[in-house]
């Protein structure tokens, strides 16, 4: 793993789960981790309920745009966290992969998305503690 680890979050639309995860990691890690996100079939915009849920905890993801998953991005990432992208996610030997089973926030109201947001936060805290040990 590189001196400054890079983490790529991947879901289908890159509009909800992966954007919230990237937002949390940017917020909690600062410049200690390079954060990326992408989707196998990106949406036009980020899910408004995800934007609202993250804003409630002081994290602004309005400047993010769904991006297409590219092989180069996966190849240059140290950790790839998938969230339901299935067979569309390329596999590179020697990379660390985690598959997070999370409910899809698509079509859900902010009340439901808050629960997903909070579950993602807990997973991000564990990942960050593993990638960048305290001290």
Catalytic residue set:
11, 85, 89
Alpha-carbon dihedral angle through residues 40, 126, 7, 18, given to the nearest 10 degrees: 30
Instruction: Confirm if 5 and 96 have CB atoms less than 8 A apart.
Output: no
Q: CA-to-CA distance for 3 and 86, rounded, in angstroms?
A: 29
């Amino acid at each position: 793993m590189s001196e400054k680890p890079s983490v790529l979050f991947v879901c289908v639309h890159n509009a909800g789960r992966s954007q919230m995860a990237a937002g949390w990691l940017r917020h909690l890690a600062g410049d200690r981790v390079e954060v990326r996100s992408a989707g196998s079939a990106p949406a036009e915009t980020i899910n408004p309920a995800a934007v609202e849920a993250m804003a409630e905890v002081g994290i602004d993801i309005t400047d993010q745009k769904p991006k297409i998953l590219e092989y180069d991005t996966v190849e240059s990432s140290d950790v790839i966290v998938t969230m339901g992208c299935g067979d569309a996610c390329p596999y590179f030997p020697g990379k660390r992969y985690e598959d997070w089973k999370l409910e899809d926030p698509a079509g859900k109201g902010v009340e439901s998305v808050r629960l997903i947001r909070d579950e993602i936060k807990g997973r991000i805290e564990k990942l960050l503690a593993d990638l960048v040990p305290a001290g």
